[in-house]
Structure 1
Amino acid sequence: MKYFKQILMYAKPYKVFGVLNIISNIFYALFGTLAFVSLMPMLKVLFKSSQPVSAPPVYAGISKLGDYIENYINYFITQKVNNEGELKALLFMIILIIATFLLKNIFGYLAMFFITFLRNGVLKDLRNDLYEKTVDLPLSYFSEKRKGDLIARISTDVLEIQHSFLSILELIVREPLTIIFTIIAMLALSPQLTLFVFIFIPISGYVISLVGKSLKKKSDSVQKEQGYFLSILEETLGGLRVIKGFNAEGYFNSKFRASTSRFYAFSNSLLNRQNLASPMSEFLGIGVIAILLWYGGSLVLVEKTLAPDAFIVYMGLAYNILTPAKAISKAVYGVKKGDAAAERVLEILNTVSPLKDKDTAIVKEDFNATISLENISFKYEDDYVLKDFSLEIPKGKTVAFVGQSGSGKSTIANLISRFYDVNEGSIKVDGVDVRDITKKSLRALQGLVSQDSILFNDTIKNNILLGVTDKTDEEILAAATVANAHEFIKDLPKAYDTNIGDSGNKLSGGQKQRLSIARAVLRNPPIMILDEATSALDTESERLVQDAIEKMMKNRTSIVIAHRLSTIQNADLIVVMQKGQIVEMGKNDELLKKEGVYYNLVKMQSLNS
């Protein structure tokens, strides 16, 4: 239950529905009890067991409540039989019973009607917050998590919270009140018999709690395993071409089967334990009813201190306790499962992002002078990728970073965009530390074109418009033209309204990259970051993309992470990196004359091309 309070906070916007649910449940519990009590007058008429009472009884305190109710019922029946006859009196009693059961069910429906809005509202808001938090968390968080596990938390775990935790909201008023009202009626009819009910409730609660103790652990295992096989599925769909190409279907099939086998075993163990709740509570209830039948029968037949009609009604009330008792016991099991699901969901929601904007962070709207990397050191895990690295990038210049894989080139781009924070030193834009600028405004100053053209299952127009809403169709066309993309877009069936499929798979690599460039051009940012934007393209596509990049970089500050050295010959400054440090700097011709690391890299690429 320790996570229930935090989940319950999501019910605040829907408290009106909660109040209406509580009111409806109060009346449901009340009429549920009255429905059984109303059987007594009918039984008295049928058995002709009512004592004639000519005057209304006088209330003599709570200790005499049972006698008062019985005398009042006898008085009521006496009046009805005397005025209308036995048959009409019986008909009236039947109508009274139907009316109480009808009202009970009407209020039961209303209670469920109102709680539906609350439950689904909490579900919606919880999922929205989870998605927003997922988008807000830094990239480092996801390098440690499986995507499938995150998907399971947002989908299955949230649904489990609705089915388990939020089901308590339905029971928290209705079932306890039904038990309370029923016990009051039972006490009024026979305090002696009711003693057994007080013994039954704590015993059954204790037995059920013993069985439910291990449910949280079992439920956690089920949910973790579900996250694992969803991860396998996500990886399979993403790498299907490679799996087929390497004939690895058997390996992935066996991996998935092993996970679903574990899920099968965990689920069986969990559900079999959970399924004990209903039969166990019912058996305990029937056991007590058997004792009530024996002891109550002796009161009716031997001691004659309890009327037969009162005993029948009492047994009906005793059985009326069984249904809410079973519901409460099932809810206890549900809470154990919900606790495990809530823990997994709240782990994400309660994660504090290390990249969270400071309260004093400024909104920077322009770029005027320089980007300064001052003695920065950075590591993803244990080993430093950059060590005491310093560089100044003036406005309007093109600076290219080259070097072998793992030299730290892409890390610089990630740090300037503040996808990560430096461990030591600082990165400044116009003299302001990027940690003192809001992430949104910092990234609004930048256009990013990465090696992997990340596109979405949407139209070409919406992919180019990503992140901006105030652009006209003419501006979109102009951006596509600069990116050399308009030529192939206009030939598509629906031109800019063509859906490009999952990850843009309906397009070629070159076409996808040109769309990425058009997206960056449309934002018209003062700083462009190109992370190996042409490394995965064929020669023809590279030519078109390189031409688009050169047009895009005009009059902008450009940071180029280069794999193909032929694409950066005109850069204002080439920075050669090795193991996180600068080993050479200069223009293309200057570096070639030195015949150092850069010269060897160019020579190696020339031999391989």
Structure 2
Amino acid sequence: MDYIKKLSRFLLPYKRYALLNIICNIFYALFSTLAMLSLMPMITVLFGESEKVYIKPVYNEIGNLKDFAEIYLNYFVTTTSEASGPQSALLYVIVLIISMFLLKNLFNYMALFFITFLRNGVLKDIRNEVYDKVIALPISYYSEKRKGDIIARISGDVGEVKSSMLSVLELIVKEPLTIIFAITAMFMISTKLTIFVFIFIPLSGFIISRIGKSLKRKSERVQREQGIFLSTLEETLGGLKVIKGFNSEKRFNTKFQESTSRFYKFSNTLTNRQNLASPISEVLGIATIAGLLWYGGKMVMVDHTLSGPEFITYMVLAYQILTPAKAISKASYKVKAGNAAADRIFEIIETESPLKDKEGAIEKTDFTSDIAINNISFKYEDDLVLKNFSIKVPKGKSVALVGQSGSGKSTIANLVTRFYDVNNGSITIDGVDIREMTKHSVRGLMGLVTQDSILFNDTIRNNILIGKEGASDEDIIDALKIANAWEFVKDLKDGLDSNIGDSGGKLSGGQKQRLSIARAVLKNPPIMILDEATSALDTESERLVQVALENMMKNRTSIVIAHRLSTIQNADEIIVMQKGEIAEQGTHSELLAKNGVYKKLVTMQSFD
């Protein structure tokens, strides 16, 4: 029930399919029992054991249902046999049996038909919600998580929930009803014999529950290990050049194989435990049948309290209980595995984002005055990366941040775009704290070009359109021209429709960076954040990208984070950072004249 409660909000949109499945399962269980009961008249006719009845019985009391059915059957066999011969009576009984089995299988198919929409619908909605959450959670969340583990949860774990969904409905509707109807029929045939059967049921239930208890823990271990080897695979694909360049294939192969070996071991333990369900259920069932044969045989041959056809039908019904009993034990194990998978999925879904928009957050759409960073302090873990840091960037001006690696430059970009929140102080746009604005509106005012050109395995057009959905080809081409990218795009075989490969692998570093700039140009934001946009480029590519950046920054407010000082000499103000604090600030010429930290940085880079 806890499992159903977890999934209830995903099940509700498909409740009509669940209801139709339950209705079909009720009829399936009913006709399963009637199909077995219909064997009794066939046996009676075959062995000529029916009592001669010539007066049609009248049904008057519900308590006499069994007697009425028995007398009516004898009346039907007697009148049909005398009118058309015993073979005609047998033919009618065979038609009845076939009809019952046809109806049983029809309703079984219909139950599976309706559950398909429920299972696949829930699967789709869970995946969509997990993906929505993956996008919504802050970047800091993924610095602590393995990407492969997230992939394992959205694929393998959701699939496990899907497969266990049918098991849940079997566990609570289909198989229990089949057993209930069968036991009801068994009570009608012989109360004494059925009470004897009930001696074995608690024992069977106890043994099966003992086997299933550790299943959830074992299933969690398997799913966790799957996340580890998928993470290794994801890291391998992302760093294949480094792995090959450093001849580290063996090391990563060993790491992957160690994980898959653990997965193999854990999976074997889990599967073998699951596989116990069927044989144990069958052994316990056969033990019950053996007891029935001994005790029921005594009732037929010694006590004469049960007829031969009744006993054979009873045994068929008793054996019929074995199949749903096995299904229930198997389903209970599947539910345990599904429950473990659901826990891992809901761990993501229920994670609260620390960067949620405040209630009543402002949707700011314009930029009129300045960006101000007011006395902020920030740390990723224990040590402060920024300490009491303050700058102001007036509208239309460009401010460059320079300094050694680890001085906190890129952290400023992360904080201004609100990928992280400051620990102390505030960042304001036009005097409004960005924490009082929606994240969507903050980022809507900004264009971001990073050191790593993050492109997607798609066409050039679709990569640029991320900047502005629905832009025309003319707008895209204009953006590419400003970014100095149209010169190579127009020469490609498919032009804008050229696929650039995984992470833009078919392009050079400079080409990728110019596409990133074109994407930002198309967005046309009032504020531009450039995070070491040329640091990974060669001299020729840097020159082209630098021209593209200067084109883009005209009449635009810019925060430029630079490692190469040649790219920021025309900035309105340069901030020199050391260990999260401002060491110097001023224009390029002013800072050179100071003959301080900036001059040393320039000298180190042989900037003329």
Paired residue type of 1:447: G
Aligned to 2:122: 122
Kept in 2: contact 1:18–1:115 (CA 8 A): yes
Once the two structures are overlaid, the 10-residue window that deviates more, 195-204 or 458-467, is 195-204
**What is the deviation of 1:456?**
0.3
**What is the deviation of 1:55?**
3.0
Report the number of matched residues: 608
Paired residue type of 1:174: K
Q: 1:197 and 1:519 mapped to 2: Cα distance?
A: 74
SS at match of 2:198: helix
Aligned to 1:144: 144
Kept in 2: contact 1:402–1:575 (CA 8 A): yes
Aligned to 1:449: 449
1:330-369 deviation digits (Å, cap 9, x = unpaired): 0111111111111111100000111111221111111110
Alpha-carbon spacing, 1:56–1:375, altered in 2? closer, same or farther (3 Å): farther
Q: 1:536 and 1:69 mapped to 2: Cα distance?
A: 89
Aligned to 1:418: 418
Aligned to 1:318: 318
Aligned to 1:133: 133
Aligned to 1:153: 153
Once the two structures are overlaid, the 10-residue window that deviates more, 531-540 or 377-386, is 377-386
Aligned to 1:92: 92
**What is the deviation of 1:65?**
4.1
Paired residue type of 2:396: G
SS at match of 1:406: coil
Paired residue type of 1:307: S
**What is the deviation of 1:453?**
0.2
Aligned to 1:16: 16
1:146-179 deviation digits (Å, cap 9, x = unpaired): 0111110000011011112442124421111111
Q: 2:73 and 2:376 mapped to 1: Cα distance?
A: 89
SS at match of 2:199: helix
Once the two structures are overlaid, the 10-residue window that deviates more, 309-318 or 51-60, is 51-60
Aligned to 1:352: 352
**What is the deviation of 1:204?**
1.2
SS at match of 1:375: strand
1:258 partnered with 2:258: yes
Aligned to 2:244: 244
Q: 1:453 and 1:124 mapped to 2: Cα distance?
A: 32
Kept in 2: contact 1:528–1:559 (CA 8 A): yes
Q: 2:162 and 2:467 mapped to 1: Cα distance?
A: 33
**What is the deviation of 1:375?**
1.7
Paired residue type of 1:370: D
Kept in 1: contact 2:66–2:188 (CA 8 A): yes
Paired residue type of 1:17: Y
Aligned to 2:297: 297
Kept in 2: contact 1:196–1:288 (CA 8 A): no
Once the two structures are overlaid, the 10-residue window that deviates more, 188-197 or 2-11, is 2-11
Paired residue type of 2:84: E
Q: 1:122 and 1:149 mapped to 2: Cα distance?
A: 21
**What is the deviation of 1:473?**
0.8
**What is the deviation of 1:60?**
6.9
**What is the deviation of 1:283?**
0.5
Aligned to 1:574: 574
Once the two structures are overlaid, the 10-residue window that deviates more, 519-528 or 421-430, is 421-430
1:18-46 deviation digits (Å, cap 9, x = unpaired): 11111111111111000011111111111
Alpha-carbon spacing, 1:3–1:559, altered in 2? closer, same or farther (3 Å): farther
**What is the deviation of 1:58?**
5.2
1:66-119 deviation digits (Å, cap 9, x = unpaired): 333322322232232233321101001001100100110011011111101110
Alpha-carbon spacing, 1:467–1:515, altered in 2? closer, same or farther (3 Å): closer
Kept in 1: contact 2:171–2:332 (CA 8 A): no
Q: 1:50 and 1:95 mapped to 2: Cα distance?
A: 19
Aligned to 2:339: 339
Aligned to 1:501: 501
Once the two structures are overlaid, the 10-residue window that deviates more, 139-148 or 248-257, is 248-257
SS at match of 2:468: coil
Q: Give the alignment's TM-score, normalised by structure 1.
A: 0.98
Kept in 1: contact 2:372–2:427 (CA 8 A): yes
1:432-476 deviation digits (Å, cap 9, x = unpaired): 111111111111110000000000000001101115223111110
**What is the deviation of 1:56?**
3.9
Kept in 2: contact 1:66–1:187 (CA 8 A): no
Aligned to 2:68: 68
Paired residue type of 1:133: K
Q: 1:85 and 1:106 mapped to 2: Cα distance?
A: 32
1:545-574 deviation digits (Å, cap 9, x = unpaired): 000000000010000000000110010111
Paired residue type of 1:114: F
Aligned to 1:282: 282
Aligned to 2:330: 330
Paired residue type of 1:534: T
1:505-538 deviation digits (Å, cap 9, x = unpaired): 0000000000000000000000000000000000
1:477 partnered with 2:477: yes
Aligned to 1:428: 428
1:595 partnered with 2:595: yes
1:195 partnered with 2:198: no
Q: Give the alignment's TM-score, normalised by structure 2.
A: 0.98
Aligned to 1:551: 551
**What is the deviation of 1:57?**
3.9
Q: 1:219 and 1:461 mapped to 2: Cα distance?
A: 44
**What is the deviation of 1:581?**
0.9
Q: 1:277 and 1:59 mapped to 2: Cα distance?
A: 44
Kept in 1: contact 2:186–2:194 (CA 8 A): yes
1:526 partnered with 2:526: yes
SS at match of 1:574: strand
Kept in 1: contact 2:467–2:520 (CA 8 A): no
1:464-516 deviation digits (Å, cap 9, x = unpaired): 11152231111100000000000000000101110000000000000000000
Q: 2:453 and 2:559 mapped to 1: Cα distance?
A: 18
Where does structure 2 lack aligned partners over 5 or more consecutive residues? none
Paired residue type of 1:425: G
Q: 2:166 and 2:559 mapped to 1: Cα distance?
A: 51
SS at match of 1:164: helix
SS at match of 1:402: strand
Aligned to 1:184: 184
Paired residue type of 1:24: C
**What is the deviation of 1:391?**
1.5
Once the two structures are overlaid, the 10-residue window that deviates more, 521-530 or 82-91, is 82-91
Kept in 2: contact 1:197–1:288 (CA 8 A): yes
Q: 1:148 and 1:476 mapped to 2: Cα distance?
A: 35
**What is the deviation of 1:203?**
1.8
Alpha-carbon spacing, 1:575–1:3, altered in 2? closer, same or farther (3 Å): farther
Paired residue type of 1:336: K
Once the two structures are overlaid, the 10-residue window that deviates more, 259-268 or 504-513, is 259-268
SS at match of 1:606: coil
Q: 2:169 and 2:507 mapped to 1: Cα distance?
A: 50
Q: 2:489 and 2:399 mapped to 1: Cα distance?
A: 31
Kept in 2: contact 1:278–1:326 (CA 8 A): yes
Kept in 2: contact 1:400–1:560 (CA 8 A): yes
1:200-241 deviation digits (Å, cap 9, x = unpaired): 332211111101111111111111111101111111111111
Alpha-carbon spacing, 1:344–1:82, altered in 2? closer, same or farther (3 Å): same
**What is the deviation of 1:53?**
2.3
Aligned to 1:361: 361
Kept in 1: contact 2:170–2:328 (CA 8 A): no
1:462 partnered with 2:465: no
Once the two structures are overlaid, the 10-residue window that deviates more, 270-279 or 459-468, is 459-468
**RMSD (Å), alpha carbons:** 1.4
1:536 partnered with 2:545: no
Aligned to 1:45: 45
Paired residue type of 1:108: N
Q: State the percentage of identical aligned residues.
A: 67
SS at match of 1:463: helix
1:402-422 deviation digits (Å, cap 9, x = unpaired): 111111111111111000111
Alpha-carbon spacing, 1:3–1:175, altered in 2? closer, same or farther (3 Å): closer
Paired residue type of 1:584: E
Kept in 1: contact 2:178–2:324 (CA 8 A): yes
Kept in 2: contact 1:447–1:520 (CA 8 A): yes
Once the two structures are overlaid, the 10-residue window that deviates more, 8-17 or 307-316, is 8-17
Kept in 2: contact 1:4–1:165 (CA 8 A): no
